[in-house]
Chains A and B, each alone.
Chain A
Amino acid sequence: MKRIFVGSILLILAASLWGCGRRAAEVVVYTSEDQVFSEPILKDFEKETGIQVKAVYDTEESKSTGAMNRLLAEKDNPQADVYWANEPVRAEILRQRGISAQYVSPNAKGIPDNFKNPEGQWTGFSARARILLVKKSLTEKPRSILSYTEPRWKGRVVIANPLFGTTTAEIAALFIVWGDNKTKTFLDAMKRNQIRISTSNGESADLVASGEFDFALVDSDDGVSRMKQGKPVEVVFPDQDKADVGSFIVPNAVVFIKGAPHPDNAKKLIDYLLSKETERKLAFAECAQIPLHPGVETPPVVRRIETIKTMKVDYAEVAKKMQEIQPVLKTWVGY
């Protein structure tokens, strides 16, 4: 008993000292980019700079309660230096709640302005595009998200639950670009067309890949991964004609946390993430992300940003709109 007690105390002390012994050359990053993609980049940063990276990982797919909630809960005593968000809306929410700080990285130069916060509260890089993943065997393929409402696709199309993730952001963007009336009419028409609601973009992609549905609006990495798996599907960038709204782009976003314990190292990490080299690595990784810097080398499956007609929206407005349309979406889903 005595030995157990003494042993416990010693182990706790050891564990405390282990955790407390923070090295000066370290940076704490919270990230919602999937660990399989973000970890190699962070390891490379460690190797190149000698700065130890301590990370808290999260995953969008499992909707786990991770990095973002911690940042909110830790507002008054921040532990993180940098937040690497896998989409800009979370970064924008942090700005609105006073958790982000200003930092304009020299490496942000060249990234189009619509993918950056004008005050430097967050900066976008390596993006996903919202695309239509389409069954290869279709003779006539959908070319617009409005195809969701066409009678010929009735009961044969699927979309991820719009209460979560990038689908919510895209619908909020449509509310901004099209206006409330047109978007609500679009949502109603989708429902009348007996659209199937899946739990995630990944599931939507699988449903099309297995041939159960004809097409789905998903993220470009979901589409590319199914193509790499040899599934009979192809990617269509929707609404690319001159008069169309274009594809909704979802960049990663990096945020400098207000009150960061290691501000200098945080800036070095932000610079590293925003570099062309990081964008190149993420383009060649399994996530196949689209570089936002011009002239970055990409594999054949990744389209260059300058060749895509992108939806022009202000992500700050999208973030606000997302909160605003929650009741509409909840009713639409039957939540």
Chain B
Amino acid sequence: MAKRIVLSSVLAVLIVAGLLPVLAMGVKSIIVDGRFSLENYKALLTLGRAQTLISHSVALSLLTTFFATIIGLPLGILFGKTDLPFGKLLIVLFAIPLLIPPYITAISWFYILGREGVIGRWLGPSLAELTSKWLFGLPGCVLILFSTFLPIVILLTVTYLKTINPRLEEAGRLVSDWPGVMRSITIPLILPGVLLAVMLVFLLSLGEFSVPSFLRYNVFPVESFTQFSAFLNFSAATVAAIPLAIVTFFVLALESYFLREKTYQVRPVHGTSFTERIQLGRNRNWLFALSALLCFVIVILPSLVLIVQSLSVNAYSLAIAKAGDSLIRSLLYAAVGASVLTVIGFLSGYLVQTRALPFWQTTDSLTIFLFALPSTVIGIGLISLWNRPWTNFIYATPVIIIIGYVAQYAAISSRITVSMLTQIPPSMEEAAQVAGAGWFRRMALIVAPLAKRGLMAAWLVGFIFCVRDTGISMIVYPPGLDTLPVRTFTLMANAPAGLTSALCVIMICAALVPVGILTAAFKARML
């Protein structure tokens, strides 16, 4: 009974935090001047630009997914399966763009490829003109989203490689060389993980607003924002998000049909004394050079440009003076958000993994759906739902931001928990049950301690996503209580380049330093 109540409450929380706001927006989209009307939907279908928006959105998502996969998969294999030097360091470096708001990466590329950027200063204005045109369009958007989401493919590939029983590959090696083993055994075994990465990259690229908006490339999320901001039309904005919702549903349905059972089985192999690594031999050096070069171009160079731009006498003191309070708030909100997400994710992950109640699949799909939905829709939905005199204690306080985080990012902590719980034999909980332990005691004394590493990982990843969040926070933050990404975004307009760069560098540190310290602390405790 206790289990039923608690797990049902998790679904209720997700519905209240995420689904109701979205439904509130959906209702608004069919009410025009107080009456039922499908006018906004008709307008979308007859919109002259609808075809352009569809082709832009699909092209951006497909190209980003394509490049992230064909480069991320080999890199993941190189880092996770071969004797490439500094593999772990490269994984950490490649992960940096995922930890910071994508628009910051866009700003740094603007300082490189823009009309008055580094290229222009070094190689002349005519080339800069060309690179600027290239940046402000599909190629620029693809470059930035590719560098942002590439770590998803790399990390999932590395993670799934750890799930392969080395004996299978060893057996394969008896009759074939490594390329053959990779083709016939390794890649088919990690395929579910790669396809999960493909799905995530596709959905995240499809819903991304800040980069196409900054680079003035019209896609559906930008259209939705434009309807909000320029035409002040909430209904049309919601309608503009409908194609995204449809595509998300479609992709989720595919995942549910083909992948779900397989992607849950992330179970690193234990008990094997030796996992064979591919010896790269004479290819080792040039493959390392190539990986390092890519890392330099898409990670180090943009960060360096920001650091160099910010190296002025006053930039950092001015940045701290203008945004120090926002930085502290960002860290606090992210810590609270990550803690709540860990609890919600743990319970929903438990529900999904154990299939304890019939609505486990609904819970899982809901979290993924909310994760892929544009933050604009969730944000405005939260305002519509919570801005009432009797809910001011939520709406006029940072609690509204935390609710937004729960709505958008529950999928991450839930999926991490699922992966961790699959590694815990069900017999552990069953034994405690036989001994008479109630569900709360089993969860508190058996499951949670055994899933401790997963919970810590969920907290860290939740923290990263909350601290880098721009979309939700920007729409719902209470007056005077903004976060650092929001402050950076609003200060960017007409601020000196040094100040903007310093804010971006502080933002990167705000994401990386706490994560580094906490990771080190967690590791120390584990040892």
Contact = CB atoms under 8 A, between A and B. Distances in A.
- Majority SS of interface residues in chain B? helix
Contact of B490 (A20, A59, A163, A206): A59
A64 B482 CA distance: 15
B336 A64 contact: no
B495 interface: yes
A1 B393 contact: no
Nearest to B341: A8
Contacts of B384: 73
A150 B520 CA distance: 68
Interface string A1-18: 110110110011001101
Given A55-B479, A57-B482, A164-B230, A1 B448 contact: yes
A210 B115 contact: yes
B229 A68 contact: yes
Contact of B389 (A39, A77, A93): A77
A35 B491 contact: yes
A74 interface: yes
Given A36-B493, A80-B479, A210-B125, A1 B216 contact: no
Interface stretch (B179-187, B294-302, B394-402): B394-402
A187 B495 CA distance: 34
B371 interface: no
B393 A69 contact: no
B474 A79 contact: no
B333 interface: yes
Contacts of A20: 393, 396-397
Interface centre among A1, A52, A66 (most CB of B within 10 A): A1
Given A54-B479, A56-B479, A69-B380, A63 B225 contact: yes
Interface in B219-244: 225-226, 228-232, 234
Interface string A24-63: 0000111000111101000000000000111111111111
B376 A35 contact: no
Contact of B387 (A1, A68, A73): A73
Given A1-B346, A30-B479, A286-B494, A12 B448 contact: no
A77 B384 CA distance: 11
Given A35-B490, A56-B479, A16 B232 contact: no
Contact of A15 (B213, B402, B459): B402
Contact of B343 (A8, A60, A63, A74): A8
A109 interface: no
Nearest to B478: A19
Interface in B468-517: 474-475, 477-482, 487, 489-495
A72 interface: yes
A182 interface: no
Interface in B317-363: 322, 332-333, 335-336, 339-340, 342-343, 346
Given A8-B340, A73-B387, A79 B396 contact: yes
Nearest to B392: A77
A17 B75 CA distance: 48
B383 interface: yes
B186 to A, nearest CB: 36
Contacts of B228: 65, 69
A287 interface: yes
Contacts of B49: 335
A164 B231 CA distance: 9
Contacts of A16: 393-394, 397-399
A114 interface: no
B443 interface: yes
A298 interface: no
Contacts of B336: 8, 11-12, 15
A11 B216 CA distance: 39
Contacts of A185: none
Given A56-B479, A210-B125, A19 B343 contact: no
Interface centre among B214, B333, B491, B494 (most CB of A within 10 A): B494
A287 B492 CA distance: 14
A225 B380 contact: no
Contacts of B425: none
A70 interface: yes
Given A18-B397, A55-B479, A163-B230, A64 B489 contact: yes
B34 interface: no
B234 A61 contact: no
Contacts of A80: 479
Contacts of B491: 35-36
A31 B110 CA distance: 27
Contact of A66 (B48, B229, B332, B342): B229
A77 B395 CA distance: 10
A11 B335 contact: yes
A199 interface: yes
A197 to B, nearest CB: 11
A212 B132 CA distance: 13
Interface centre among A29, A57, A64 (most CB of B within 10 A): A64
A34 B116 CA distance: 23
Contacts of A34: 490, 493-494
B121 interface: no
B392 A73 contact: no
Contact of B322 (A12, A39, A66): A39
A199 B216 contact: yes
Contacts of A68: 229, 232
B277 interface: no
B215 to A, nearest CB: 10
Nearest to A68: B232
Nearest to B125: A210
Nearest to A71: B232
Interface in B158-175: none
B48 A335 contact: yes
Contacts of B216: 199
Contacts of B388: 76-77
Contacts of B399: 12, 15-16, 19
Interface in A172-194: none
A36 B495 contact: yes
A163 B393 CA distance: 38
Interface in B244-278: none
B343 A37 contact: no
Contact of B342 (A4, A22, A28, A64): A4
Given A1-B448, A69-B229, A15 B333 contact: yes
Interface centre among B226, B230, B384 (most CB of A within 10 A): B230
B313 interface: no
A333 to B, nearest CB: 10
22 contacts: A2-B444, A5-B343, A15-B402, A19-B478, A28-B480, A34-B493, A34-B494, A35-B493, A36-B491, A36-B493, A54-B480, A58-B490, A59-B492, A61-B494, A62-B214, A65-B474, A66-B475, A73-B387, A77-B388, A77-B395, A212-B129, A335-B49
Interface of A: 1-2, 4-5, 7-8, 11-12, 15-16, 18-20, 22, 28-30, 34-37, 39, 52-66, 68-70, 72-74, 76-77, 79-80, 93, 163-164, 199, 206, 210, 212, 225, 286-287, 326, 334-335
Given A73-B387, A335-B48, 10 more contacts: A16-B393, A18-B397, A19-B397, A19-B399, A60-B493, A64-B490, A65-B379, A66-B229, A69-B229, A79-B396
Which 9 A-B pairs rank lowest in CB-CB distance, beginning with the nearest? A19-B397, A54-B480, A1-B448, A54-B479, A8-B339, A59-B493, A65-B228, A57-B490, A11-B336
